[in-house]
Amino acid sequence: MNSIWPLVMITFIAGVGGTGLGGAVSCMFRKDSDKTVSLLLSFAAGVMTAVVCFDLLTEALNAETDTSPLLLVVCGITAGFALIALLNALIDRATNHEVAHIDENHPRTADSLEELTHANHLQEHREGRQPRSGLFIAGLVMAAAIALHNVPEGMVIGASFARTAENVFSNRGGLVMALVIGLHNIPEGMAVSVPLISGGMKKISAVGVTALSGAPTILGAVLGFLIGTISPTALVLSLSFASGAMLYVVFGELLPESILMWRSKLPAAAVLLGMLTGLIIIYC
């Protein structure tokens, strides 16, 4: 059980620190930051893919269990992917109706960083054409949704560290996964804090609420860790579930957002660089 506290510390930095940093970044929002964030998301997606394919799934497929590891891995990946997809669908449904679009020609898809965080609605609110309460409510709904979304992401971190329960700091794959999830939480923190600030909340309070939305990551990490240490079969299921969840994050969130922010070939290069970086970290 002594390994729980280092895990809690690492997850706190990734969950609360990542979303809180996103909230702080939104206070200094720059319109020309799309390209930078796009490359950051692409790089994180590449690293995450490398950790999933070359570390988590490799460990799961090579485990000695009573049941076929392949069957357990397929079931675990499917469950993890489906759960994150469902949570994201609920988030989209809950938040899209809260912020009214400016006019009938306003795009309904996120085609820029401002649209992802609804920051381009701020001027409309300042000029009185939209009620500020709409953005404030949207920010609160987004905070609650992100908090729920962070539980399975925390399980990913916990499952990654369950393989080396006696010494979590020796698990480079787990440390990399925690770092990547922390990077992934930055734009999520922006998506929470920008509507809150635009809706009238003080910046420091908005950053605080945003950081708290990352706290459930710790609960998920402890849960994933405890499940993974029950038995070899439980570890395989836990690693597979974590892999499925992260594969959805990569292909359902990070890469689409990256491409929408900057329609260029460079994000693809950033993905490759991220995969190579992850590969080097895992096997060096």
For residues 176 and 208, the model is more confident at 208
**Backbone phi, psi, residue 204, to 5°:** -65, -35
The Cα–Cα gap between 25 and 86 comes to: 28
Unique residue bearing structure tokens 């922010």: 261
The answer for 29, left when phi > 0, alpha when psi is -120 to 50, beta otherwise, is: beta
Residue 270 has pLDDT above 60, yes or no: yes
Predicted pLDDT at 113: 47
Region 264-284 average pLDDT:
89
132-136, 145-149, 211-215: lowest mean pLDDT where? 132-136
Mean pLDDT across the chain, nearest whole number?
A: 79
Predicted pLDDT at 215: 94
For residues 12 and 121, the model is more confident at 12
In percent, the amount of the chain with pLDDT more than 90 equals: 25
For residues 29 and 184, the model is more confident at 184
The angle that helices 69-96 and 132-161 make with each other, rounded to 10 degrees, is 170
| DSSP H helix total and E strand total for the chain | 14, 0
Region 96-113 average pLDDT:
49
Q: Residue 100: which residues within 8 A CB-CB, separation 6 or more?
A: 130, 134
The Cα–Cα gap between 148 and 117 comes to: 18
Predicted pLDDT at 15: 92
Predicted pLDDT at 148: 81
Predicted pLDDT at 171: 80
Written as six digits, the tokens of 110 are: 């996120």
Output the CA torsion sign for 46, 48, 54, 57: negative
Residue 175 has pLDDT above 70, yes or no: yes
pLDDT digits (tens, 9 = 90+) for 238-256: 899 989 988 998 898 888 8
Unique residue bearing structure tokens 């994201």: 88
The Cα–Cα gap between 44 and 33 comes to: 16
6-20, 75-89, 118-132: lowest mean pLDDT where? 118-132
For residues 218 and 171, the model is more confident at 218
109-123, 203-217, 249-263: lowest mean pLDDT where? 109-123
Q: What is the pTM of this model?
A: 0.72
> 132: pLDDT confidence band, cut at 50, 70 and 90?
low
pLDDT digits (tens, 9 = 90+) for 65-90: 877 889 999 999 999 999 888 887 87
Number of residues written out for the chain: 284
Closest CA to 59 of 225, 243, 284, 221: 243
58-62, 182-186, 197-201, 240-244: lowest mean pLDDT where? 197-201
Predicted pLDDT at 172: 79
Region 170-179 average pLDDT:
82
Spatial contact of 139 and 195, defined as CB atoms under 8 Å apart: yes
